[in-house]
Structure 1
Amino acid sequence: MRNTIILAGAAALMTLSASANAQDTVIIRQAPVATQSTIVVPAPVETYILEREVRSVPYEGDVLIGRVIEDPVELYPVEGYEDYSYTVINERRVIVDPQTRQIIQIIE
């Protein structure tokens, strides 16, 4: 009889402690965070750009993905890949969307 009471008490304690732990769990629901999509540039495009000698153009401001490169900066086409252009700005090679002139990748 004594063993039964001990087992019942232990079972009750385990049940209560599980309930107490469940009350400590907090679920936070968050709205999705919009992030800039990642553009995967084909490896041959990067290789092509790294093999070319292009003079660096001084440019005011930070060189950042998403920045639109203004018209006076010359963009060079990537042979065989019409969706990509490149240039070198402030000693940094950048891959640019030739339609929008937006930087899509910085080659470090």
Structure 2
Amino acid sequence: MKALVTAATAALMLTGTAMAQTTVVTVPGEVRTYITEQQVPSVVYDGDIVVGSELPSSVEIHTIPSNDAYGYTVVNKKRVIVDPHTHRVIEVIN
């Protein structure tokens, strides 16, 4: 019985971890529209630009006047939506 409880607990813990890693952030359409209309210079960056990665503090994050929950930048000619507080990539716009 103890082994069964231990196995069930371990399974629940693994499931919780997997679910936490697949969190999806839905960016409002007006934020995406605003970002695509802005003309900012592209920054060259050697690292991978993928959702969940953290951009270095040297990459300038631009603010969105109507929504402080999102920021953006252009990296390697790709528009990137980021969390302005953590510099984590939320979405890469192609």
Report the TM-score, using the length of structure 2 for normalisation: 0.78
Give the aligned residue type for 2:65. E
Partner of 2:49: 63
Shift of 1:36: 2.1
Please state if 1:74 is matched with 2:60: yes
Structure exhibiting the larger radius of gyration computed from Cα positions: 1
Structure 1, residues 22-42: CA drift from partner, whole Å, max 9, x if none?
xxxxxxxxx547142000000
Q: Which residue of 2 aligns with 1:99?
A: 85
Whole-angstrom distance in 2 between the partners of 1:36 and 1:101: 18
Identical columns (%): 41
In structure 1, runs of 5+ residues without a counterpart are: 1-30
Structure 1 residue runs of 4+, over 2 Å off?
none
Please give the alpha-carbon distance, in whole angstroms, between the structure 2 residues aligned to 1:91 and 1:103: 15
Q: Distance in 1 between matches of 2:46 and 2:87?
A: 16
Give the letter for the 2:51 counterpart. Answer: I
Cα offset, 1:94, TM superposition:
0.4
Q: CA deviation at 1:61?
A: 1.3
Match of 2:31 in 1: 45
Q: What's the RMSD between the two structures over aligned residues?
A: 1.2
* Cα distance in 1 between the residues matched to 2:39 and 2:86: 24
Offset, 1:105? 0.6
Q: Distance in 2 between matches of 1:38 and 1:91?
A: 24
**3-state DSSP of counterpart to 2:33:** helix
The runs of 5 or more residues in structure 2 that have no matched partner are 1-10
Give the number of equivalent residue pairs. 78
Q: Distance in 1 between matches of 2:62 and 2:47?
A: 21
Give 1 or 2: higher strand fraction: 1
TM-score, normalization by structure 1: 0.68
